[in-house]
Amino acid sequence: MKKINGARIILEGLKRQGVDTIFGYPGGKVIPLYNELYDFSGINHILTRHEQGAAHAADGYARVTGKVGVCVSTSGPGATNLVTGIMTAYMDSIPMVAITGQVATYEIGKDAFQESDITGITMPVTKHNYLVKDVKDLPRIIKEAFYIASTGRPGPVLIDIPSNIQQAEINFEEFEILHNEPIRLDSYNPNYEGHPKQIKSAIRMINQSKRPVILAGAGIIKSKASKEFIKFVERTNIPVGVTLLGLGSIPTAHDLCLGMLGMHGTYAANYSVFESDLVIAIGMRFDDRVTGNLETFAKNAKVIHIDIDPAEIGKNKKADIPIVGDVKRVLVKFLEKMPQREKTEWNETVTKWKNENPLVYKNSNEEIKPQYLIEKISELTNGEAIIVTDVGQHQMWTAQYYKFKNPDSHCTSGGAGTMGYALPAALGAKVGLPNKPVIAIVGDGGIQMTSQELMTLAHFNIPVKVVIVNNSYLGMVRQWQEIFYSNRYSQVDLEISPDFVKLAEAYSLKGVRIETPSELDEKLNDLLTSNEPVVIDVKVSKEENVLPMVPAGGDSHKMLGIKGEL
């Protein structure tokens, strides 16, 4: 009778979930899995150079494709190396399944070689996790993991599989029976439909409002609701402030888009919230980088809060009308009842704020301003590229100066703020959408955290363009030390760093350094449109600040540097 082992069940389960690509790194406790992978057809494996890279690559893949990203590691340190990537995905609600090897079931709890309690470690940063103790549970668990990861509010699920479970066998017929059993998760019932009475009340509140503003978050993008969202915006003519992860939900250039909200948001976005009498929060969670001081944030406004996760409603900001549901389905219901709302004096006021207080910086012919670099990338790609940023100043300049046109075109670690994210996430994004240009924008600090993934780009010839915004500092920390700690620059100087061109060449990649604005104008287009992976080391102004800025915990309408200078 035909048999199938646990390792093969994993691969069959993945394939039947529609998985065609996984990111991973082998080790002792997943050798049975990799042995089956050796001649298994239908699943492409990308060998990253570190388990953290595998997790971020699965994250980037998931963000641009909307599919569940899959990463694999061995037990112990291999599994714990995934944790930063899992936490990053958890904070930003990214669908991911992480598969870890574990010591044999009879060794668990005995401090065996490379044993770690990865389900315990990841409990706070996963939507759910499993330790598999019976091979007959594997078909069900794999199906459940994908269902949980991708439904409701998405998030990562971890499956920890002991080595002897991977080797254990069952009859193939029994596997088919187990696989075909329906999913039963009685305590897990995401609510997708907004309550009709709440929607009706919300429409009434919108129609009564004199100074409404919309806060657009990542939930719009995750529910594939951008089309409905733009219709809603144009039906109501309400100005829109966008969160960092909501960028792309509406084109930056749309006349009702005010740009990003929050700590480094635009004057018009932040001031509109402060002066508003109604906030319509859609797929966002009022995180501290958006609100600053919650006591003064939209203090005179009623709040309509639409979100798939009931735990987010009222967590940070009290909602007058909570609507729990999938953003797309809720907006469809709004559009069925929402009358056309004409522009009002409020629109004129907000537009005046927008026109009189645009994002500004002082450009230079002598040195490359980082804002100019981002503007050039935006111009040369016509806002159509997939942009993957790391964390720090360049992340905020990109959010401010890149003119996003499409949803699913911006990947960044918003909640966790994970340095080292961009390079591996970009390679995952490029694998997911090979026909789209993918640009990783990183700092000279962040690139050094996961630079080994340059080898992955070379190994698989993944033509990501890596743009290093090199100011020889841990720039955001330096900026805070300048503004809030009297220029006491403590441990932020990165003048002693690798030669990034030689580093690229060491990984068999093309490396180019750009040091002047004229060089940038001359070279950047050809580099961005080449068909090979390229590392572009751009030397920018060393002490440029991201402005405007709201101090942490400050009043969001009291911004520093509105005119581009402190």
Whether this prediction's pTM lies above 0.85 is answered by yes
Give me the pLDDT at residue 1, please: 86
10-residue mean pLDDT series, the chain (566 residues): 96 98 98 98 98 98 98 98 98 98 98 97 98 98 98 98 98 97 94 97 98 98 98 98 98 98 98 98 96 96 98 96 98 97 98 97 97 98 98 98 96 98 98 98 98 98 98 98 97 98 98 98 98 98 97 94 91
Distance of CA 53 to the CA centre of its chain: 15
- Give the pLDDT of residue 19: 98
- CA–CA dist 534, 455 (Å, integer): 12
With H, G, I as helix, E, B as strand and everything else as coil, classify residue 302.
strand
Q: What is the pLDDT of residue 170?
A: 98
Q: Could you tell me where the beta strands, DSSP code E, fall in 3-49?
A: 3-5, 21-24, 44-47
Going from the C-alpha of 359 to that of each of 22, 371, 397, 403, 414, the distances in angstroms are: 41, 10, 10, 13, 21
Whether the CB-CB separation of 216 and 242 falls below 8 Å is answered with yes
Peptide bond into 548 cis (omega under 30): yes
Per DSSP bridges, beta strands 169-171 and 69-73 are unpaired
pLDDT tens sequence across 149-186? 999 999 999 999 999 999 999 999 999 999 999 999 98
